[in-house]
Structure 1
Amino acid sequence: MTSYPPDFDEFDLVDVWERPWDESQPGTRVHFELGRAEFAAAQLARSMAEQMGSIANVLAEARRHPEIYVVLDDEPTKRQLDVAMDAAVADIAMRLSIAEGTVVAMAHQAEVLRARAPQVWAMFREGEVSAANVRTVAATLDSLPEGRETDAALDSKAAEWAALPPARFTGRMHTLRERLHPISLTERHAEAAKGRRFWRENDRDGMSWLGAQVTASDGEMAWQRVDAIARHLAEQPGETRTLDQLRADVVADMLTGRSDPATEPRATVGVLIPMMSLLGLSEQPATLEGFGPIDADTARKLTAHAPSFYRILTAPVSSTILDVDRTSYRPPADLKRWLALRDGTCRFFGCGRSARLCDLDHTEQWAKGGTTSAGNLAHLSRRHHTLKDESRWKVEQRPGGILTWTSPTGAIRTTDPPPF
């Protein structure tokens, strides 16, 4: 990769870092700092390979010894094996503060590279190929049927191109994939189209990202239509929005139905707004269900003009709602609405699934004396609800909706409900 001077030892960099610079030789200083950066990049790749390998090893151990994560009285059933694997994934994710999906992806990438691209994996462990390029290799192999000759050809070429920047490397891998793939592009496109989807990602300052994966032809047609409408609007007298803003507004109008009132959708959305903000006496932010904080002015407009919004007012000082123990198993509607706004998402450490799509779980089981109250209820995704009930994971709830999770291997993390 990097060509160092004959007397330059990469592994002596740690010692060299402390040596004084020769201020009369700026070129030496530049070369020194470049060496440090390159050494750090190699170390980063080595560390990432080590982490991916360790994650894959932990999941392999959980597969071989599910009793680490679930209580077994006999041979494990398939469900117990699945729960054990999910519990192990959650354990890794919590310890490393990464998403569970990332854990699964990293383990899978390590397994694919070990089995199908051993040359690239060895280079990765030596810090000779970046994590970005390694992910591209794993994704490319995933999209190809397994075959010794195909895998060997891709592994060899990927190792040859390892030092290329990610964009250039990805382009070459795409071209190589087309040459190696035994199935026609027509058949592959028909299969790929089944995976089309639409998604949303919350952003800061009251904004959201919307994304869609569609066929290339639909994507181009959609872009051309949105762009044409935006450019037409841009030519109107008095229009001050940029083209980017206009395109975003055009898409929002189409999707929300504002461009055609007859098709405007109706939805029920919760807004938690402090009483003083609702009355216009404060600008304290409100909370939009499924999103988070929004400005007080927007919240006032929503509560004033949208009859499909339900309103929960909070105390102006403490921002809390008084609660009493319930005597029934099922929480009443007002309590469910309050808890959905309090929690926002699944309350497992790191899970972002919307509370609307979660189970409202009794932290202390109802059958064991747990009450149906705000102090004993919390939203959990079905996955994490299952882990709580069927694995060695444990959770306790403290006043204020604070949950303390303990993993089967002893890691402890605390999750607070989002602030209002």
Structure 2
Amino acid sequence: MDALEAVTTMLVEVESTISSMQAVRDGLLAVGSRLAVEVAEHADSRDEADLALRTVAAEFAAALRISDRTVQRRMTDASFLVERFPLVWRAQGAGLISAGHARVICDAGEHLEDAADRDAFSVELIGFAETESANRVARRARRVAERFQSRPIDDRHKDARKKRGVWVRDLPDGMAELGLRGPAALVHGAFDRITQMAKTVRDQTVRDQTDSTDSTDSTYSRTLDQIRADIALDLLLTGAPAGHDSANGLLAALTARVSVTVPVTTLMGRGTTPAELNGCTPIDPVTARRLAGAASGWDRILTHPITGALLTVDRYRPSADLKRHLRARDQRCRFPTCGYPPSHCDIDHHHDAARGGPTAESNLGHLCRRHHVLKHQTPWHVEPVTDGLYAWTSPTGQVYIDRPPPPNTVTFTEDASPAPF
């Protein structure tokens, strides 16, 4: 018991220190945002102001080896905490509350416009947060915030609706998460409908298997969550968007599209190297073979059997050879730390074609729109080196080398032993 008490005490101290250091980091990120704002004050347009923020975020991100989109979001969140809720930030810095507590307090008070109201709101919640968990603080914070709201909830909901969106987060073992943010009534309604469908499928399957002597159907073994997930994906992949479609059903005619890279040995069932989905996450060979069997055509990527280096790309129906070669080589945006796939990128001339830059592999690379704009309209610039390597120079003069990721292929080692007679 003495040892447990000692470990618990140390754990509390460590968590307090981590919270304090996170507050320090937020302060530095907020300073970065302030530097960008000072530059933006001399800008002639809103676009130039946004580019100033992107430039600072890219400088931080390249040095930290983090996506600059992630850093820019952190800068925005840090500025929001430091400038609008300074009491919460200081409490976190003092180790009185955690970053989780600070986040739920700020989220609940996001729409409080008066500084005095925010301070009063913060004082009440900080005292509560010192002795309660973040999830309990979140519930109370939403209730307390309503007392200080100067705008009706209808107006606030209209603003909140602008933040609706959908996103994907890759997971290990060929899995991924699909997230959705939208009006609560619609999201809960959609979840309830999917749940009703899942329960109907489960109950019907149970009845069918009870009445049948053949118990080979594996559907009965699925949990309610699994059936819910299967139905949701089935609806998203095959359902018609009735609320948005045109008279001639153009939206309903669209089908899902993904890019899969699979070694030929895996495709033949003779290898264990996983396939890759959209150049960013492994998937199982069974799924890859099913997708390959249903595909109307393949890009064949030829690699060196020893080094794995990309040699060439062809297709049984040749078209746009250079574009396919670049997609196979780059696999993502070529700005350091960015992971956007080629399908979401522009093909950029590193040396402007209008100024004599050749339309050749050595002068072309994929850049997402964000970094394409960053390259052309900020002090960031790029120079091709060799073999698909690019040297990016930041506004502070730091140089970052971006290498294309190795192809998802199989390599072999040379057998140095003498051949038998």
Question: TM (normalized to structure 1)?
Answer: 0.78
Deviations 1:139-190 (A, max 9, x none): 333222x114322321211221231211111111111112221223344334
The offset of 1:37, in angstroms, is 2.0
Q: Secondary structure at the match of 1:282?
A: coil
Do the aligned partners of residues 409 and 345 (structure 1) sit closer, same or farther apart at CA in structure 2, a change above 3 Å counting? same
Which amino acid is 1:252 matched to?
A: L
Q: Match for 1:253 among 213, 220, 234?
A: 234
In 2, distance between residues paired with 1:410 and 1:33? Answer: 46
1:326-365 alignment to 2 at 5 Å? 333-365=320-352
Which amino acid is 2:30 matched to?
A: A
Do the aligned partners of residues 119 and 313 (structure 1) sit closer, same or farther apart at CA in structure 2, a change above 3 Å counting? closer
Which amino acid is 1:347 matched to?
A: R
1:12-161 alignment to 2 at 5 Å? 27=2, 29-65=3-39, 76-78=43-45, 79-144=47-112, 146-161=113-128
Deviations 1:298-330 (A, max 9, x none): 3232222232x5433434725554359xxxxxx
Q: Secondary structure at the match of 2:96?
A: coil
In 2, distance between residues paired with 1:106 and 1:277? Answer: 40
Which amino acid is 1:295 matched to?
A: D
In 2, distance between residues paired with 1:148 and 1:313? Answer: 59
In 1, distance between residues paired with 2:171 and 2:369? Answer: 25
Which amino acid is 1:64 matched to?
A: E
Corresponding residue number in structure 1 for 2:285: 296
Q: Match for 2:190 among 217, 222, 229?
A: 222
Do the aligned partners of residues 129 and 45 (structure 1) sit closer, same or farther apart at CA in structure 2, a change above 3 Å counting? same
Q: Secondary structure at the match of 1:322?
A: strand
Deviations 1:263-296 (A, max 9, x none): 5743554333333444444343333336543333
CA contact (8 A) 1:272 1:312 kept: no
Q: Match for 1:376 among 343, 356, 363?
A: 363
The offset of 1:128, in angstroms, is 1.8
Q: Secondary structure at the match of 1:199?
A: strand
The offset of 1:389, in angstroms, is 2.5
In structure 2, runs of 5+ residues without a counterpart are 210-216, 242-248, 314-318, 409-421
Corresponding residue number in structure 2 for 1:176: 144
Corresponding residue number in structure 2 for 1:274: 263
Q: Secondary structure at the match of 1:387?
A: helix
In 1, distance between residues paired with 2:43 and 2:150? Answer: 39
Q: Match for 1:392 among 361, 379, 382?
A: 379
Q: Secondary structure at the match of 1:143?
A: coil
Corresponding residue number in structure 2 for 1:20: none
Do the aligned partners of residues 154 and 291 (structure 1) sit closer, same or farther apart at CA in structure 2, a change above 3 Å counting? same
Count of equivalent residues:
377
Q: What root-mean-square deviation, in Å, do the aligned CA atoms of Structure 1 and Structure 2 show?
A: 3.1
Question: TM (normalized to structure 2)?
Answer: 0.78
Corresponding residue number in structure 2 for 1:203: 171
Identical residues among aligned pairs (%): 32
Corresponding residue number in structure 1 for 2:180: 212
CA contact (8 A) 1:289 1:340 kept: no
Which amino acid is 2:164 matched to?
A: R
Corresponding residue number in structure 2 for 1:408: 395
Q: Secondary structure at the match of 2:139?
A: helix
